[in-house]
Structure 1
Amino acid sequence: MNAKTKRRLVVVTGIIIIVLVVVLAVVGGSSSAKAVTVADAVSGQYQDQKIQVSGNVVENSFKTEGNVLTFDIYDPDGDPMQYVRVSYEGGVAATFGNDVTAICTGKVGADGVLRASELVTKCPSKYENATDALGVAQLLDYGDSVLDKTVKVAGTVKAGTLAAAGQGDRFVLVDAEGTTEMPVVFDDALSDEVKDGSSLVLTGSINADGKFHATNVALEG
């Protein structure tokens, strides 16, 4: 092996080592969050350290200003009166809502707010039989006679209408023919199985605003 070939080999080896060091640093940095409880997070002992906290979203604690979502989480197995405030900038899944389990990764600042760089939400699946449910068109045909009365209605999620809680209408429900639709208001958690075209069974009431205010949303099953 001549000197030129040796120098080339040394340069290539050096580049490979540098790339490996960078990759390991990135992987290590993204997986170095310490899993702690809500009580640990509010204690102040992990300030400015990367942590991962899991908890349930406190009912109606969330608001969105610009692209920043703030909300509180509590430990369902701990003190329900103890909570940590979370700030998250970025897109929020449609599964986000009241009492949904939120897994938040980030750092707690001096103000006690967990500024999350990652947010994952999980909600258990809920199924309900649609045998005694009205169709969307059937419900709307009743007009004012069913305003503010609790009913059950079945339909499918109109494509492209799913949104996170606190952002206006949660989704639009359409009948089996896809010709009649109805906006739905719902601020609790949706199952992560709810997607465009999902068949749902809703319990709630249609109000004078023409929107169905749901108290329960379940997958048809």
Structure 2
Amino acid sequence: MNKRARNRLIGVTAIILVAAAAIMAAAAGTGGAYQRTVADVAGQSEFAGERVKVSGEVIAGSWDRKADPMRFEIRDEKADSDAPTIKVEYSGGVPSTFGDGVVAVVTGNLSDDATLIMSDDMITKCPSKYESATSALSVASVLKAKKGVPTKVTGLVVAGSITDATERIRFKIVDENGTDEIPVEFTGALPEGMNDGMAVVIGGELGPDGIYTATEVALSDAEKK
């Protein structure tokens, strides 16, 4: 082998080694776990006892905000209701966007029977949702309306009121004049990018206790950039 060919081989080998090191570093950054689907992992003994990273949709009603640590179930996004599911026991901080139907990416150790992930890391994926506030009532109007009747209301998110899914009251809204305020209960996922002072449009009903139980929450079209 001549000197030029040998130098070229050394260069190619160096590139391969650098690429391999980068892949290993990326894997280490996620605890050595590569992202898999629920169907890949649920009940699969080959992954039992291993650290896994799994993405799935939070099944509505599968979690209790008072439980510590939090437990919930996930199935593959847009899968049928009879698709495989897996339980998650999560011991970290709960993202404010966590809720029914949100896509959660959890990393943790899979139980020996491959039915439970004991997770210490979770991120959530929730697309931004927008809705027109044209037909929505003001906070003041909803407070005066009959309780227990489905309505649509718009208002501004009260600064510092956004909480995570472990709290009953997820946030509060106020009219633009700042005088009328409503606490909002919601078990779904808050829209991505929702922050203090933003205009939101909410569907649900106001209860006799003055708490608005929301079934859907969206950012107002006015918040589109």
TM-score tier after normalising by the smaller chain length: 0.7 to 0.9
Q: Quick check: 1:122–1:191 contact (8 Å CA) kept in 2?
A: no
Of 88, 95, 98, the residue aligned with 1:96 is: 98
The runs of 5 or more residues in structure 1 that have no matched partner are 1-23
The runs of 5 or more residues in structure 2 that have no matched partner are 1-22
1:58, distance to aligned residue in structure 2 (A): 0.5
- Report the aligned-residue RMSD: 2.1
Could you list the runs of 4 or more consecutive aligned residues of structure 1 that deviate by over 4 angstroms after TM superposition? 24-28, 64-67
1:28, distance to aligned residue in structure 2 (A): 5.1
Secondary structure, in 3 states, of the residue corresponding to 1:148? coil
Given the two structures, how large is their TM-score scaled by the length of structure 2?
0.79
1:66, distance to aligned residue in structure 2 (A): 6.1
2 CA distance for matches of 1:65 and 1:212? 20
Given the two structures, how large is their TM-score scaled by the length of structure 1?
0.81
What is the correspondence of 1:197-216 to structure 2 with a 5 Å cutoff? Answer: 197-216=197-216
What is the correspondence of 1:64-79 to structure 2 with a 5 Å cutoff? Answer: 64=65, 67-78=68-79
Secondary structure, in 3 states, of the residue corresponding to 1:192? coil
Deviations 1:88-135 (A, max 9, x none): 112111110001000111110225310112100011111111112111
Query: 2:129 maps to which residue?
Result: 126
Aligned sequence identity (%): 37
What is the correspondence of 1:128-143 to structure 2 with a 5 Å cutoff? Answer: 128-142=131-145
1:193, distance to aligned residue in structure 2 (A): 1.3
CA pair 65-185 structure 1, distance change in 2 beyond 3 A: closer
Aligned residues: 195
Secondary structure, in 3 states, of the residue corresponding to 1:106? strand
CA pair 139-76 structure 1, distance change in 2 beyond 3 A: same
CA pair 65-180 structure 1, distance change in 2 beyond 3 A: closer
CA pair 44-195 structure 1, distance change in 2 beyond 3 A: farther
